[in-house]
Amino acid sequence: MSAELRALVTGASSGIGAVYARALRARGERVVLVARRAERLAELVRELGGEEWAMAIPTDLSAPGAAGKLFKETEGRGLAVDLLVNNAGMGHTAPFEEQPLDVVRAMLDVNVRALVELTHAVLPGMKERSRGRIVNVASNAAFQPVPFLTIYAATKAFVLSFTEGLAEELRGSGVRVQGLCPGLTRTEFLEVAGTHRGLKVTRTPMMTAEQVVEASLRGLDRGSLRVIPGWTNRLAVFAQRFVPAALPRRVAAELYRPSKEGPRGS
């Protein structure tokens, strides 16, 4: 009996991940939803039509071995991952030396280790079937350092480099890979990252998660490797080629410099 093909979305309990889940269901895909918040996942499963169409596997991807256990869980349920959306991510806004090391480790574990391990786990099956799709959610922060959001930006630079190198390795295999690089998006991320209203970045225009996911899926249909949603975001990335390297990081520092008023959060 052949395995049932499913799309697996990490970080699916809110924001971009939840919108991916809804958009993929609207396309007729059966989805596996992964995040820490079990109650939110259960609500989304009900919204999407029940377990025939959406299955929740609550997982903390910052835990050691979590990605491997998640993959084994899908295999144990007779599922094969045909589309992997590595969307789960963590950020923290503060001077680097003030960030607790457990928070730094969690960012590295979720943003880098879990993403790499999940990709490594699903690739053999995809290559054997000569079909598969992988979307790694990076960020516009992948294109320059972002002071006060330093670890997050560095992890996203890794994600984009890893994705583009992997895409070349997989050329002709039937497996498509995308690096999604959204700019500022209206989700819970800023609050969770400790980004409060005192930061100048919160005054800049934001896209909706729906706009970001629409651009991603449109690019996936076209086979686009690098997708930067929004013309202003694409312009910002393009313009960096023509200015001194120090300028983008100094602008980013002003946008993300913590206000002296109010807590930074965690």
Q: What is the pLDDT of residues 45-94, one digit of tens each?
A: 999 999 999 999 999 999 999 999 999 999 999 999 999 999 999 998 89
Burial 208-217 (b: 16+ CB within 10 A, else e): ebebbbebbb
Active-site annotation, residues:
152
* Residue 135 lies inside a defined structural domain of this protein: yes
Total-model pTM:
0.92
* Residue 149 lies inside a defined structural domain of this protein: yes
What pLDDT was estimated at residue 188?
A: 67
Please, how many CA atoms are within 13 Å of residue 167, restricted to the half-sphere of its CB? 19
What pLDDT was estimated at residue 248?
A: 87
Position 231 pLDDT exceeds 70: yes
According to DSSP, the residues that pair with 9 across neighbouring strands are 33, 85
Tokens at residue 189, please? 């991320």
What pLDDT was estimated at residue 2?
A: 74
What pLDDT was estimated at residue 266?
A: 30
* Residue 263 lies inside a defined structural domain of this protein: no
Q: In one letter, which amino acid is 233? A: N
Give me the domain span that covers residue 59.
4-256
The predicted model gives 99-125 an average pLDDT of 97
* Residue 218 lies inside a defined structural domain of this protein: yes
Give the CATH number of the domain where residue 228 resides. 3.40.50.720
Q: What is the pLDDT of residues 235-254, one digit of tens each?
A: 989 998 889 989 988 988 88
* Residue 54 lies inside a defined structural domain of this protein: yes
Q: In one letter, which amino acid is 87? A: N
> How many domains, in total, are found in the chain?
1
- Report the range of poorest mean pLDDT among 78-87, 100-109, 183-192, 240-249: 183-192
* Residue 25 lies inside a defined structural domain of this protein: yes
* Residue 261 lies inside a defined structural domain of this protein: no
Angle at CA of residue 162, ends 97 and 66, nearest 5°: 70
